[in-house]
Structure 1
Amino acid sequence: MTPMRRRTLALLLLAATGTCYGKTFQFSGEARAVNGDVLYTEHHQVEGECSQGQFRPLDHRVEYREQDQSEGFADKVLRYQRSPLQPEVDFNQPRFDESLRISYPDGNTIEVDWQTPSGETRAFNVPVEGRAVVDAGFDNLVRQNWSALQQGRSVEFRFLGPTRGELYGFILEPSNHPELDADLEVAIRPTSMLLRFLVDPIQLGYNARGALTHYLGLTNIRKNSDTNYQAHIRYDIASYPECELTP
């Protein structure tokens, strides 16, 4: 069979199953402190496929840069082949000699390898329990429950605290925050009363097409070796995939 015929056959098979490769989803964000100062920028590129008319992410690359700089100071790669809610994660912050790896050695375990800013290496094996969400999987959780959130319903899930090696109970619920101006606004907060005193809710805003436009809360970028930045990140969409982001 010639290469051209192989390609044609592959396209026909993809069309028959309702699956095709989608255009790259690209967006960028500007993180600002409470006083309005720009802390850093984020640059996202998500490769995926269209399945039954909806975009499914496969590989997501993020580069973090200082304002007006072309070179990154940190980077993250997420691979969603396992699940849109549970990506493999490879995150690096060289300025603090920190790295974080999240993988899945089997279907029931989340493996975390963390090199801390102090030079210590910590490893955790976390049993998968309930509706487990890892890292940016929360973004896909919102889209999977788009209609329910629009109707005012909430969604409970368990979120990985990678540097603690534990899954914590959280709830995703409709919100109305004065600093957000979005078509859909939601908050992520702990279900534990104790954690509610220790962890502020994360506020998210989405446009009508299901793209994240606002993130308000604790980020994964370090201010120093002990604390991470709190920021309001506003996102601009450069290109959408060829199919819908939401059901």
Structure 2
Amino acid sequence: MTELLYRLHCPPLRRAPWVIAPSLGLVLALAALHPAHAQATSERIVGYVRDANTQRYLYTEVHQLQIGRDGAPVTGTTTYLDPQGQEMARKTVDYRSHRTVPVYRLELPAQGYSEGITEVGGTVMMFKTSQRTRQEERLDMPEGHVAGDSGFNQLIMDLWPSLQRGQTVRFRLLVAGRLSDYAFRARHAGELTYLQQAATRIRVEPDSMLRFLVDPIDLIYDRSGRRLLHYAGVSNILNPATGEVYKRIDIQYGGEPPAEARLP
């Protein structure tokens, strides 16, 4: 699932992107897991990413996950590949300290950028590095529902029964790219058929006045809430032509690889 919120740019009177990794760009390929496994195993999940407006193929996400006996991810590595199959970025994730706030590190070498969460407990240590300038911030772990980076997907799974009952669920999202945390909410946004299967749409947005400035994230899961099928929202990857994140992307998880995708 993506990394749900990396950078925020909110100029007056303009809608602005929140990058959600996860990985929520994110977000969020961790939701493409099958139901609980009988034993520890490995999963490879591929996401195919297009510009939502032009449908130009942008990059491929390859998620390699180690899955515990309960079916939940333990550790993982995500590589981001350009259309020629060359690596653009890499992220490592470790859930052993916290189910919904994993330790992680995202690196984009060409942009001289990295960010992550290095410690999780009663407090959370976050960092970001841009052009060799490193910043760090230690925050108290928020009370109630909380997620960081790809742990957002685990939170959605935990809250799935409430979402299916039509409840709006509220949570804090830790954003290393901003060295802060923000109030968000998620709600059931309808049933549909997607890729010839029954599916559920979940909408995620800031739980504050920022929702009038920030575009929502739309996620499509299978009806069980165990498998992410589609993500629509802002990217956590920088456009090399502009140095800014892709504003609106579509990610399809699984299915036939597009002709434009090159995998190693």
Q: After TM superposition, is the score higher than 0.5?
A: yes
| Deviation, structure 1 residue 26 | 2.1
Deviation digits for residues 75-121 of structure 1, max 9, x if unmatched? 101100012201001111011011113121x62211112111x4322
Deviation per CA, 1:148-196, whole angstroms, max 9, x where unpaired? 2222222110001212221111001112499976612101111111x11
The 3-state SS of whatever aligns with 1:102 is: strand
Q: Which moved more, 1:222-231 or 1:78-87?
A: 222-231
Q: Show the counterpart of 2:166.
A: 152
8 A Cα contact 2:92 2:104, kept in partner: yes
Residue 76, structure 1, aligned to residue 95, structure 2: no
- Mapping of 1:1-247 within 5 angstroms? 21-33=39-51, 34-51=53-70, 55-69=71-85, 71-104=86-119, 107-116=121-130, 118-130=131-143, 131-176=145-190, 183-193=199-209, 195-209=210-224, 210-224=226-240, 226-229=243-246, 230-236=248-254
* Alignment deviations for residues 31-58 of structure 1 (CA, whole Å, 9 cap, x no partner): 110110011110011112123xxx1210
What is the CA–CA distance in structure 1 between the aligned matches of 2:214 and 2:193, rounded to whole Å?
19
User: Between the two proteins, what is the percent identity of the paired residues?
Assistant: 27
Q: How far off its partner does 1:132 sit?
A: 2.0
| Higher RCO by CA contacts (8 Å cutoff, separation 6 or greater) | 2
Gaps of at least 5 residues in structure 2 are 1-36, 257-264
Listed as ranges, the gaps of 5+ residues in structure 1 are: 1-18, 239-247
- Equivalent residue pairs, number: 213
**Does structure 2 conserve the Cα–Cα contact (< 8 Å) formed by 1:202 and 1:217?**
yes
Matched position secondary structure for 2:68 = strand
User: C-alpha displacement at 1:135, in angstroms?
Assistant: 0.4
Contact 2:230 2:251 in 1 (8 A): yes
Cα-to-partner distance string for 1:103-148 (whole Å, 9 max, x where unaligned): 21x62211112111x4322111121112221001111111112222
Shift of 1:61: 1.1
Q: Post-superposition shift, 1:226?
A: 5.0
Q: Which has the higher strand share?
A: 1
Q: Judge which range, 178-187 or 147-156, deviates more.
A: 178-187
User: Hey, which of these two has a bigger chunk of helix by percent?
Assistant: 1
Query: Counterpart of 1:140 in structure 2: which amino acid?
Result: Q
Kept after mapping to 1: 8 A contact 2:111/2:243? no
Conservation of the 8 A alpha-carbon contact between 1:28 and 1:237: no
Provide the C-alpha distance between the structure 2 equivalents of 1:68 and 1:187, rounded to a whole number of angstroms.
Answer: 32
2:172/2:183 contact within 8 Å kept: yes
Question: In 1, Cα distance between the equivalents of 2:234 and 2:192?
Answer: 18
Q: Output the aligned Cα RMSD.
A: 2.4
Verify the 8 A CA contact 2:103 2:118 in the aligned structure 1.
yes
Letter in 2 for 1:217: G
- Preserved CA contact (<8 Å) 2:191 2:199: no
With normalisation by structure 2, the TM-score equals 0.74
Which is worse superposed, 31-40 or 170-179? Answer: 170-179
Measured at CA, do residues 177 and 148 of structure 1 come closer, stay the same or move farther in structure 2, by a change above 3 Å?
A: closer
The whole-number CA distance in structure 2 between the counterparts of 1:148 and 1:211 is 17
* Separation in 1, partners of 2:152, 2:163: 13
